[in-house]
Structure 1
Amino acid sequence: MPAELTALVRSAQQGDEYAFRMLYRELQPGLLRYLTVLVGPDAEDVASETWLQIARDLTTFAGGPGFRAWATRVARNRALDHLRHQRRRPTLPVPVEALAELPGAEDTAASADEGLGTDTAVALIATLPRTEAEAVLLRTVIGLDAESTARVLGKRPGAVRTAAHRGLRRLARVLAAQNGQDAAVQPAGAGPADGQVADVRSGEDVEAGQGWR
């Protein structure tokens, strides 16, 4: 796919509209999921702004296999600009009952990785601390390697790998706990009751108890 993507980019840079449409079809689903975590219900609008900028700046892209990372960075910058111009900070609460739709998992990062393509899973990722959420999305949903993810986020590859691993393990624990709750009555005060929102933003990663958008 990298070689095929590179060929499409070259054709699009030469004005091939079909090649540009194919680039859109290849990248848009992942970008939209990523932007959903960043800006919530405004993801479609930000995605449109992203593709307008990609179309405008495509000729400035130097080429090579890094187009996916370049486009993702454009999307992230547009999302951050969007958030800076917002007074409110939207959240994506995850109803407890929605967790039942996710695949079962043990307490391992690998098992959590299996269901990350679903919209429900993306909503669950949105409850992670920001660095972990972005690392998981860029590595798992967008499909970037650690080096490309590091360039998008402005971090070291080692820090990206650590954040992604922590995020996956946190998701795995939530899923494992939910599976255990299906077979037992939850004691009072032990966790979210029916109708409440599950939130895994615990520990030192949370900034003053606030969402990160």
Structure 2
Amino acid sequence: MSLDDDLVARARDGDADAVGVIYSTLAPKVLGYLTMRGAEDPEALTSEVFLAVIQQRRQLHGGADGVRRFVFSVAHHRYVDDVRRRNRRPATLAYEPSDDPRTDSPAEDVAIEQVSLAEVRALLRQLTPDQAAVISLRMMGDFSLQETADLLDRSVGSVKQLQRRALEALRQMITNEVDAG
């Protein structure tokens, strides 16, 4: 089932199946967006986003695009809140491997997954916060320039400029790494 006006209307009226379709369609993208931005616990934040969406379901309008904009607007604001919270109270708990009940994946799989994600995060951290937000929303959220501008309360021209500067900065960083390596 895809996101459409009927589904949005049903979700707005509290239909659990319709809300489930919205969740299953958008949660992976929201998780990807929050992970790319470097959220401390992207899975928990994704849950918070959808709890907020369910609580505010009466505000769901505009079909698939409206729901997507609303969900990612909530995700962006939750991410900003997460950053502010971390800046006020940095985490002080140390990781204890002996207390971790999870089983280990093969080391190669973990290394390959983490290296690429770590590299992308490292590159995004070198951008300005606004540039990182634009790149993350455009790439992970698959938002248009206008949608990105609306989510960030900026003009389309400003988003274009941020995107152009971010891509140029990323190109330069990658070129420098290749030249150095």
Scaled to the shorter chain, the TM-score interval is 0.7 to 0.9
**Number of the residue aligned with 1:25:** 24
**Number of the residue aligned with 1:66:** 66
Mapped to 1, the partners of 2:170 and 2:122 lie a distance apart of 11
Runs of 4+ in 1 over 4 A off after TM superposition: none
SS of the residue 2:48 aligns to: helix
Higher share of residues assigned helix: 2
Mapped to 1, the partners of 2:121 and 2:4 lie a distance apart of 28
- Quick check: 2:36–2:121 contact (8 Å CA) kept in 1? yes
Mapped to 1, the partners of 2:157 and 2:44 lie a distance apart of 33
**Number of the residue aligned with 2:55:** 56
Residue correspondence of structure 1 range 95-134 to structure 2 within 5 A: 120-134=119-133
- The Cα of 1:166 is off from its aligned counterpart by 1.2
Mapped to 1, the partners of 2:20 and 2:122 lie a distance apart of 27
Give the fraction of aligned pairs with identical amino acids, expressed as a percent: 29
SS of the residue 1:40 aligns to: coil
SS of the residue 1:85 aligns to: helix
TM-score (norm 1): 0.62
**Number of the residue aligned with 2:99:** none
- The Cα of 1:164 is off from its aligned counterpart by 1.1
Cα displacement string for residues 111-145 of structure 1 (whole angstroms, at most 9, x for unaligned residues): xxxxxxx6742453233110100011111210111
**Number of the residue aligned with 1:5:** 3
- Distance verdict in 2 for CA 1:147–1:41, change over 3 Å: same
**Number of the residue aligned with 2:100:** none
Mapped to 1, the partners of 2:36 and 2:89 lie a distance apart of 15
Q: Quote the RMSD (CA, aligned, Å).
A: 2.8
**Number of the residue aligned with 2:95:** none
Unaligned 5+ runs, structure 1:
91-97, 103-117, 183-213
